[in-house]
Amino acid sequence: MTAVGIDAIEIRTGKLELDLAETFAPAKGEEPEKYTKGLGLHSSSFPDAYEDIVTMGANAAHRLMERKGLTPADIGRIDVATESAFDNSKPVSTYIAGCLEQVYDGDFHHANKGERKFACVAGTQSIDDAYNWIRAGRHRGRAALVVATDTALYARGDPGEATQGAGAVAMLITEDPDLVALSTEQGYGSADETDFLKPNQQFPSVDGKRSVQVYLARMREAVRDYESVAGEIPPDEFVLLPFHTPFPGMVRKAAALAYRHMIRDTAVEEELAPDIGRQPRPEAFDTDEEYVDAMGEYTDELVETDRYLDWYEATVDPTLSISREVGNWYTGSVHVARASGLKHALESGMDLTGETLGVASYGSGAQAEVHAETVQPGWEAEIEALNVDEQLEARYSISYEEYKHIHDVHNHDKDTDAEAEAFTPPEAEFVFDGWGRMGERKYRYVE
């Protein structure tokens, strides 16, 4: 069977940076460690006044197409995953296609276009759609372009404010991919939840404590469902384990539960038993509450062991380096995590060809998906082509007053168009160019 997967990836970060330790924490009268250690975040990326989900997505897609030598005729579908859309009818994919048509001969009139919504898991769902389209033989030799793009803003003063971020990830889905091939096996965990939602509003309503619980519960279900078709996951199955990363602190919790699950009834559990005992079994307790408490105590001891810390440092921590500098990108976050882990491997001189990644996606509302990816022989060249370090270095660092201004610029409920002064000059990129006669957003390419 011909492999199908991600052939290439590009990342576009917002051009502004908010330093959480040096700028945000003092303005809030809080200690920097609340963000840098608690949340695991150093800074957040924000879009400048002329940036939004369309420009970031189109700029990422443009660089990808240029690097791969593609034309519109090579693309058979454009799928955009976002939970920051500004139109309830016209999909963001049409805007992005319109931007790209400004710089290419030809058009995307032949391409199927759509917009996926299921909170942060929609990016992975869009990849699944493209995979199935190719597997079904409907692609006629063309590739699929998947763009995950979001501006993750919270109301000022909201507890989630520090996790904000903005950026886009563009991915090319093809046969015989250069980056990773997707597994046929998938696992899902899904339930009707109200942990995080935006009922006809821009800023989310969040039950923070419950959101963490739902994230972990759906992940457990997805892992078990994956194992029902792929078999049990041994502790050394995955060389990297990219998770959905709203903030690295959340991933620390998910990773601990994943490792605990993988070592259950294995030699690793027995080797750790003299120091921390074996994992509690439910039949040994009179109530579920007693069992849950005992598992919590076991997990607390497990994450302090050298065995776990070595695994986490090698398998999970490398996936978090970019997220620490950009914050939450909603639909793009797990795809940033994948790129971050592969980038670390490249810089460390690791040969990952043929190795397996375990990808754990999640979207509030709520659904988790787990699948495996096999690293392909061309992965090094694809990751080496990323310029995310240059983008991060070039960001304009905003003051707290400037942050409030740019937050208002991107607040749909505020009329700030006349005051939307940019902090950086646009160069060789798509930019927001005002409003059309029917209230649509307009874009142009700046040389």
Active-site residue set: 83, 120, 244
Query: Of 31, 320, 3, whose CA–CA distance to 177 is shortest?
Result: 3
Instruction: Identify any residues that bridge with 373 across adjacent strands, giving them in sequence order.
Output: 182, 357
CB 350 within 8 A of CB 112: no
Angstrom distances, CA of residue 201 to CA of 85, 223, 290, 411? 11, 32, 41, 11
Instruction: Identify any residues that bridge with 12 across adjacent strands, giving them in sequence order.
Output: 168
Return the SS3 of 58.
Answer: helix
Cα dihedral 272, 273, 274, 280 in deg (nearest 10): 140
List, in sequence order, every beta strand (DSSP E) within 82-135. Answer: 112-116
Distance CA 84, CA 52 (A): 9
Distance CA 57, CA 413 (A): 23
151, with CB counted inside 10 A (0-12, 13-18, 19+), is buried
Query: Letter for the amino acid at 378?
Result: G
CB 162 within 8 A of CB 35: yes
Distance CA 79, CA 106 (A): 19
Distance CA 110, CA 271 (A): 59
CB 307 within 8 A of CB 140: no
160, with CB counted inside 10 A (0-12, 13-18, 19+), is buried
Q: What backbone phi and psi angles, to 5 degrees, belong to 389?
A: -60, -40
Q: What backbone phi and psi angles, to 5 degrees, belong to 424?
A: -130, 150
CB 396 within 8 A of CB 243: no
